């Protein structure tokens, strides 16, 4: 409840601005999802051939990365920039990791008390 009290303690113009940001973000996210599904439905209605639809899906997957992938990539780049600016990368040493060969032995079942 302290979170709600902190919000109520803010001046009215700050609450209105934050409300506006929340509305814009919500409408944008819903609009993106709606537009992608509308684009897909419209294309499928205009092009009923299966070959055209497969080409459309293949091109769409190549040109537009997922939102989650874009955000995580941006955050990773931001973290790398911050580390580089603060000089943390000088402390790290990168080396190749050795990949262990896959085990190819045989499997032995454990003895169970019910197998008498």
Predicted local confidence at residue 1, as pLDDT: 66
Instruction: Count how many domains the chain has.
Output: 1
Predicted local confidence at residue 107, as pLDDT: 80
Domain holding 39, by residue range, is: 1-46
Mean pLDDT by groups of 10 residues along the chain of 116 residues = 85 92 92 78 78 75 66 83 75 70 82 67
Residues 67 and 32 sit within 8 Å (Cβ to Cβ): yes
Q: Token pair 């294309």 is at which residue? A: 43
Report if residue 16 sits inside a domain. yes
Taking the complete model, does pTM exceed 0.85, yes or no?
A: no
Predicted local confidence at residue 33, as pLDDT: 79
Report if residue 109 sits inside a domain. no
**Residue of 92, 89, 67 lying closest to 79 (CA atoms):** 89
- R_g over Cα of the chain: 27
Distances (CA, A) of 18 to 4, 6, 10, 21: 14, 13, 11, 5
Predicted local confidence at residue 91, as pLDDT: 58
Q: Token pair 């609009």 is at which residue? A: 31
Predicted local confidence at residue 94, as pLDDT: 62
Report if residue 83 sits inside a domain. no
């Amino acid at each position: 409840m302290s979170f709600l009290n902190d919000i109520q303690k803010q001046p009215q113009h700050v609450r209105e601005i934050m409300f506006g940001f929340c509305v814009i973000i919500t409408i944008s996210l819903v609009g993106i999802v709606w537009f992608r599904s509308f684009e897909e439905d419209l294309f499928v209605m205009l092009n009923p051939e299966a070959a055209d639809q497969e080409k459309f899906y293949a091109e769409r997957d190549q040109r537009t990365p997922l939102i989650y992938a874009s955000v995580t990539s941006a955050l990773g780049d931001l973290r790398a920039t911050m580390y580089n600016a603060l000089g943390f990368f000088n402390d790290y040493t990168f080396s190749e990791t050795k990949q262990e060969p896959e085990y190819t032995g045989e499997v032995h079942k454990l003895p169970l008390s019910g197998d008498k």
